[in-house]
Amino acid sequence: MARRSFPWGRLVFFATGNVHKFNEAREVLAEHGLATGMLRIGALEIQDDDIESIAKAAAVDAARRSLLPVIVEDAGLFIDALNGFPGPYSKYVYQTIGKEGVVKLLENCEDREARFRSVVAFCGPRTVPRCFHGVVKGRIVERIMGSLGFGFDPVFEPMERQGRTFGEMTLEEKNEFSHRARALRRFAEWYKSSSEASQQSF
pLDDT band at 9 (very low <50, low <70, confident <90, very high): low
Phi, psi of 55, deg, nearest 5: -65, -40
Query: Does the pLDDT of residue 3 top 50, yes or no?
Result: no
pLDDT band at 1 (very low <50, low <70, confident <90, very high): very low
Answer whether the bond into residue 154 is a cis peptide, omega within 30°.
no
What are the E-state strand segments in 21-129?
A: 35-39, 70-79, 86-87, 113-123
Q: By the 8 A CB rule, do 119 and 133 touch?
A: yes
Once rounded to an integer, what is the mean pLDDT over residues 105-109? 95
Instruction: Give the pLDDT confidence score for residue 194 in this predicted structure.
Output: 76
Q: What is the mean pLDDT of the chain?
A: 91
Instruction: Give the pLDDT confidence score for residue 195 in this predicted structure.
Output: 57
Once rounded to an integer, what is the mean pLDDT over residues 26-46? 90
Once rounded to an integer, what is the mean pLDDT over residues 97-112? 96
The model's pTM is: 0.90
Q: What percent of the chain has pLDDT over 90?
A: 83
Instruction: Give the pLDDT confidence score for residue 7 in this predicted structure.
Output: 44
Instruction: Give the pLDDT confidence score for residue 198 in this predicted structure.
Output: 54
Q: Encode pLDDT of 66-75 as tens digits.
A: 999 999 999 9
Burial category of 183 from C-beta neighbours within 10 Å (exposed 0-12, middle 13-18, buried 19 and up): buried
Supply the DSSP symbol for 176.
T
Question: Rounded to an integer, what distance in angstroms lies between the CA atom of residue 197 and that of residue 3?
Answer: 25
- Name the residue type at position 173: E
Query: Does the pLDDT of residue 190 top 80, yes or no?
Result: yes
Query: Does the pLDDT of residue 8 top 70, yes or no?
Result: no
Query: Does the pLDDT of residue 109 top 70, yes or no?
Result: yes
Rounded to whole angstroms, what are the CA distances from 33 to 26, 29, 36, 97, 180? 10, 7, 10, 39, 18
- Say which residues have a Cβ less than 8 Å from residue 117's Cβ, sequence separation at least 6: 51, 75, 76, 78, 133, 134, 135, 179
Instruction: Give the pLDDT confidence score for residue 196 in this predicted structure.
Output: 56
Instruction: Give the pLDDT confidence score for residue 18 in this predicted structure.
Output: 93
Instruction: Give the pLDDT confidence score for residue 85 in this predicted structure.
Output: 97
Q: Encode pLDDT of 162-183 as tens digits.
A: 999 999 999 999 999 999 999 9
| Number of other residues whose CB lies within 10 A of the CB of residue 139 | 20
Supply the DSSP symbol for 150.
S
pLDDT band at 101 (very low <50, low <70, confident <90, very high): very high
| Residues assigned a catalytic role | 74
Instruction: Give the pLDDT confidence score for residue 94 in this predicted structure.
Output: 97
User: Which listed CATH number (3.90.950.10, 3.40.1160.10, 3.40.50.300, 2.60.40.1180) goes with 8-199?
Assistant: 3.90.950.10
Q: Is the torsion defined by CA of 46, 47, 48, 51 positive or negative?
A: positive
Domain ranges, ordered by start, for the chain: 8-199
